[in-house]
Amino acid sequence: MIFDLLHELARTEQTTIIVVTHDLEIAGKADEQFKLQDGKITKVKG
């Protein structure tokens, strides 16, 4: 899957990839998760 390739690339290159999704399966693979609700960003995981 493309997300897995991006995740591996981020690790090997020691960089950050920002993914915006409504897919909870993809979001669950991220090292950190943030949620936008009522105009505020809150950390959910990580």
* 23: CB partners within 8 A, 6+ apart: none
pLDDT at site 45: 92
pLDDT at site 40: 97
pLDDT at site 32: 94
Listed in order, strand segments (DSSP E) in the chain are 33-37, 40-45
pLDDT at site 1: 80
The pLDDT tens digits for 1-46 are 898 999 999 999 999 999 999 999 999 999 999 999 999 999 999 8
Residue 34's domain comprises 2-45
Domain count, the chain: 1
Q: Is the alpha carbon torsion for 31, 42, 23, 3 positive or negative?
A: negative
User: Contact 36/14 with Cβ under 8 angstroms?
Assistant: no
Start-to-end CA span in the chain (Å): 22
* 9: CB partners within 8 A, 6+ apart: 15, 17
